[in-house]
Structure 1
Amino acid sequence: MSRRRLLLGAAGVTGVALAAAAVALGSSPDEVPPPVAAGSTPPPSPATTRSREPESAPVPVPVAVHQPIKTLGEYVKASGKPAFPSDAIALTIDDGPHPVWTPKILKLLDRLQIPALFCMIGNQVLGHEDVAKLVTGDGHQLANHTWSHPLHLGGKPSNVTQNEIRKAQSKIHKTTGQTPTLFRSPGGDWSPRLLKDIAKAGLLPLDWSNDPRDWERPGVPAIKQRMLSARPGQILLCHDGGGDRSQTYAALSAVLPVLKARGLQFVAL
């Protein structure tokens, strides 16, 4: 059993808020875990039962926030979770799962013992269920990145955004057993109305503070240079889906060991 699996085994959320969110968005009862009686501990998801840590106090239900989360400090404040170490940093990976690049990145992360948050697109999980299960099987966490990755999501009507959120949430949970608590808008496009819809779904809006723009494929040196500027408390953005991610993979292979050697501690969200 890897050290990362032990680290991430206790991840989970309160079932009451998630079930209420499902009702608000029109989901059927089997799309999310069943509600839990007040004061009781929610049952673990299949992903978390692979390697469980000793029982700990329930994590507070996330509260609605009015700005997307860009740093670990903002995440702690919004989620109510314990503070991270002062040298902590988080890696997030968007647009998968991808049948080629996701497994390659997973092997790299396993070798380096680095946890990551994979922001998955619902219609990418569709047809790549085995790859999505590899991610949670390795102990990583998942975020909702919409069903179809529509651009300019912040300007779309609520019925569109709620459907994008609900369909992705249902597919991710049914495939992996893990229920995301974080939502990332495609391209970091936000609006007050979208933030309200996210809160209604029981999710927290997640952004980033270090963007190497690897999705543009600017070349490995450019991606490396931007990632090497990372500082404690930041949330890094990279991609495993959306096309050829050979530049991203090469940059991660070079940069992640350097960041670890600097004393940065990668943490799970």
Structure 2
Amino acid sequence: MLVIILLSLFLNVFWVAALLIMAIGLIGIALGAFNIQWNFFVKAIHNGQTHSRQIALTFDDGPHPVYTPRVLDLLDKYAVKATFFCIGRQVTQHPEVALELHKRGHLIGNHSYTHAPTIDFHTKVKWLGEIHRTDAAIAACIGRKPCFFRPPYGVTTPHLAGAIRVSGHSVIGWRVRPYDTARRTPDRIVRTILNKTKPGDIILLHDTHDRIVPVLEQLLPALKRRNFTMVTVETLTQRHAYA
């Protein structure tokens, strides 16, 4: 009888431990998927050379017909070059804006074609469709195929990893994310960036909301006063932006 009781206790403890290990594993996988800096499924580039005071500003989700041109004017004012990770559908809808940012010396990277809320559930084949379709939209607009890719929401999955191995893109992450699309004030966004930015960092912003203009009006001169030089991701990482 005692043996049966002990065996029952052992089995109960075993299953509890097994379930706990599985839960911890699933939590770890989820955290790895949602934190691009962990390089859990995909090895991404988050910064560049740190021996100089170069940093890279990047803008996601455009081109936007209203805000992107205003961003371009501010970048011109302060002689700054940046990298724009564009949604393919936006490039197709606003090719004149994408072409203008290319003409002004900025880089365009691939940020998927749809940026759909369910995109992280895509299969490898669907991911390849998103990536290739965006490459084609950008190439049709500026005559060059991008080599840089940034995952929507910064989420990575095994299916995306498989697609990247086929497409050969360099995956670009970031070191500084001020969550500028949240309802934060421009002052708070700028303060977050200034407090966190170090030489070699890649900074994530968006050229799709009304706060980006007052943010850049404060941020660009403030970064220059701190002797940072803002360059493209290509210059910062010494990797080719186009095939």
**CA contact under 8 A between 2:51 and 2:199: conserved in structure 1?**
no
Alignment of 1:121 with 2:90, yes or no, is no
Compared CA separation, residues 143 and 258, structure 1 to 2 (3 A): same
Between the aligned residues of both structures, percent identity stands at 34
- The answer as to 2:232 corresponding to 1:232 is no
Equivalent residue, structure 2, for 1:72: 48
Kept in 2: contact 1:143–1:181 (CA 8 A): yes
Identify which of 167, 181, 189 aligns with 2:155.
189
- Structure 2 equivalent of residue 262 of structure 1: 226
Q: Which of 133, 146, 149 lines up with 2:99 in the alignment?
A: 133
Partner of 1:172: 138
Q: 1:199, CA displacement in angstroms?
A: 2.8
Alignment TM-score, normalising by the size of structure 2: 0.75
Distance 1:95 1:66, change over 3 A: closer
Alignment of 1:95-114 (within 5 A): 95-114=61-80
> CA contact under 8 A between 1:195 and 1:205: conserved in structure 2?
no
CA positional deviation for 1:177: 1.4
Unaligned stretches of 5+ in structure 1?
1-64, 74-83
Alpha-carbon offset, residue 224 of structure 1: 1.1
TM-score (norm. length: structure 1): 0.68
Structure 1 partner of 2:166: 200
> Is the CA contact 2:125–2:163 (under 8 Å) kept in the aligned structure 1?
no
The 3-state SS of whatever aligns with 1:126 is: helix
Give the gaps of 5 or more residues in structure 2.
1-40, 234-243
Structure 1 residue 144, shift from structure 2 partner: 0.2
Deviation track 1:70-107 (CA, whole Å, cap 9, x = no partner) reads 1114xxxxxxxxxx752110000011001110000000
Amino acid at match of 1:233: G
- Taking the aligned partners of 2:110 and 2:139, their CA distance within structure 1 comes to 10
Aligned residue pair count: 192
Distance change >3 Å, CA 264–CA 213, structure 1 → 2: same
Displacement of 1:182 after TM fit? 0.6
Residues 112 and 257 in structure 1, CA contact (< 8 A), matched pair in contact too: yes
Counterpart code for 1:181: C
Q: Secondary structure at the match of 1:250?
A: helix
In structure 1, the residue matched to 2:128 is 162
Q: Tell me the C-alpha RMSD between the 2 structures.
A: 1.6
Q: Which residue does the alignment assign to 1:246?
A: 210
Matched, 1:146 2:88: no
Higher Cα radius of gyration: 2
Matched, 1:209 2:153: no
Amino acid of the residue matched to residue 43 of structure 2? Q
Partner of 2:60: 94
How much has 1:142 moved relative to structure 2? 0.6
